[in-house]
Amino acid sequence: MAGNIEPKLVLPVGSRDHVQGSATASVTLVEYGDFECPYCGAAYIIIKKIQELMDDELRFVFRHFPLTQTHPHAEAAAEASEAAGVQGKFWEMHDLLYENQGTLDSWHLAQFAHELGLNTRRFVRELEEGSHRARVREDFLSGVKSGVNGTPTFFINSVRYDGSWDIEPLFAALKNAARREGSTLKSFGSAA
């Protein structure tokens, strides 16, 4: 039954990861996501709201899980976020991609890079050369081995979260995890 009971992250959060929030946060939420997946697009809004509610108590990590056979632009979009990342704008690109899920073709990706003030020539060259393909694949495989079974898949403090990711249940699960970790810093508000 290896791996199928309470799946856990096999690749711990580390320096290779894209992280938002405090390293001392009591809860770490890891998302395996696909920029062209409409469910991930819906989850993006929910995560933003929860980040506002939990502030320093939540650390958020994004890893790539592009379903390339289902979403033709997902791989390029994932690599685009990494190309922006090496120029210090991973999260800005992450947000732009999710806010423009209908236009993820190469022309628009270059346009987003321009909007973010990136070195566009370098950005485009890295996409053409596949400079970040290995990194995206590494994320993907770490997800497969951790029991990711679709997008988005979330891990709360390294354990796969199989509940609904509507704002109320996800927020409740994160609050519970924070309490288990002995968080007394704040009493969180309601997501409603």
Partner 1 sequence: MSTQTVDRPNTNPTSALVAGTTAPNFTLPEAPDRRIALESLRGQPVILAFYPADWSPVCGDQMALYNEVLPEFKRFRAELLGVSVDGPWCHRAFRHYRNLHFPLLADFEPKGDVAKKYGVYRNGEGVTERALFVIDGAGRITWSYVSPIDVNPGADGILTALENLPGRESANGR
Contact positions vs partner 1 (CB under 8 A) = 1-4, 7, 67-70, 140-141, 144-150, 162
Instruction: For residue 70, count CB atoms less than 10 angstroms from its CB and return exposed for 0-12, middle for 13-18, buried for 19 or more.
Output: exposed
Are the CB atoms for 152 and 39 separated by under 8 Å?
yes
Please state the closest distance from residue 80 (CB atom) to partner 1, in A.
19
Residue (of 42, 76, 53) closest to 164 by Cα position: 42
Kindly state the smallest distance separating residue 160's Cβ from partner 1, in Å: 9
Task: CB nearer to partner 1: give 58 or 76.
Answer: 76
Nearer to partner 1, 113 or 148 (CB): 148
Taking the complex as a whole, the smallest distance from the CB of residue 31 to partner 1 amounts, in Å, to 16
For 112, residues 6+ apart whose C-beta sits below 8 A from its C-beta are 80, 84, 93, 96, 97, 100
113, two tokens: 């890079």
Whole-number minimum distance, CB 75 to partner 1, in Å?
Answer: 10
User: Which is nearer to partner 1, 162 or 168 (by Cβ)?
Assistant: 162
Using the minimum distance from each CB to partner 1, give the nearer residue, 59 or 64. Answer: 64
Name the residue nearer to partner 1 (CB basis): 36 or 57: 36
Identity of the residue, 4 or 187, whose beta carbon is nearer to partner 1 in the bound complex? 4
122: left (phi over 0), alpha (psi -120 to 50) or beta: alpha
Least Cβ distance, residue 71 to partner 1 (angstroms): 10
Cβ burial, residue 8 (10 Å; 0-12/13-18/19+): middle
- Least Å distance, CB 9 to partner 1, is 11
